[in-house]
Amino acid sequence: MHCKILNTKLGPLEYSTIGKGIPILFFHGGHSNCKETLSHKGFDTNKYRLITPSRPGYGKTPLYNNVTPRKTAGLIITLMDYLEIETVIVYGISAGGLAAIELASGYPDRVSKLILASAVTKKWLNESSKIYRTATKMFNPKIEWLTWGMVHFFSLIYPKLISKRFFPQFSSNNDSEITLSDIHELIAALKNYRSKNGFLNDINQNIQNEVISKITCLTLIIHSYYDNSVSIEHAEHAHKQIKGSQLEILNNQWGHLIWIGNDSGQSIKIMESFINGNHN
């Protein structure tokens, strides 16, 4: 995936764009960047234009002063203006959920539909929790390059082992067999992962309830019952706050990673149906 740099008044912004047709703007999850393609799965690039910016702190988009979801949304508006795109379908993934919510809430005339996929919709991690403390150590900007360097190295040598080790981070579904196809898709996603300054910023972000409750566009919330990364409470919270939203709960294999597994076609079909107007 080839990424470009746009210099804006709010700072540099790295992004990728592929395809033509209906524009869909992706807010990638934690550790990812503009090279994200897993969430593009199932989209026909002859029908859709897939736009993926590196969120502040990731890839070659510096954090600068864009530390809040609201400021990230403002930065993305400059990209839309540059690309001469009036309205987009916003697709918020995991830790990218809060910025996606801010864009849909703060710029209602620029967002036609909103998809929240395995998305964070409120404060994510409790600062006193073990997972928060571990994350601040493993993904600290000073050593995250080493953490991911080891993951990338061992992914090449022991892809099956790495997949088995990562699986419980994403899914609580213990009734699963990891296929060769699953391994290939996961390793392909992991090879571009880096936390940089972005992830520590993500886990300290929050938004107010009145922000999410102001969303008026058609909204699909899709989440797995087995999500072991972002609690299903986030999906329920968004559904409660966004009037008329559509909530889809999946009983899938890979939990948080709804794009991997033999059952991933179900989630892709639900999202495409929503985009094409066949929503509840």
Please give the structure tokens belonging to residue 10: 């709010």
Q: Looking at 32, 39, 54, 94, which residue is catalytic?
A: 94
Q: Say if domain 4-275 classifies as CATH 3.40.50.720.
A: no
As a whole number of angstroms, the distance between CA 62 and CA 98 comes to: 18
Name the 3-class secondary structure at 251: coil
Which residue in this structure is represented by tokens 């559509």? 246
- The strand pairing partners of 27, in sequence order, are 92
| Type of residue found at 134 | T
- The verdict on whether 163 is a catalytic residue reads no
Q: Is this structure's pTM higher than 0.85?
A: yes
**Mean pLDDT split into 10-residue runs, the chain, 280 residues:** 94 97 97 97 96 98 96 98 98 98 98 98 91 92 95 96 95 89 96 96 93 98 97 97 97 96 94 82
Burial class (CB in 10 A: 0-12, 13-18, 19+), 4: exposed
- The pLDDT value recorded for residue 175 is 73
- The strand pairing partners of 90, in sequence order, are 25, 114
Nearest Cα neighbor of 147 from 59, 57, 256, 31 is: 31
- The pLDDT value recorded for residue 277 is 86
- The pLDDT value recorded for residue 278 is 62
Name the 3-class secondary structure at 92: strand
- The pLDDT value recorded for residue 280 is 52
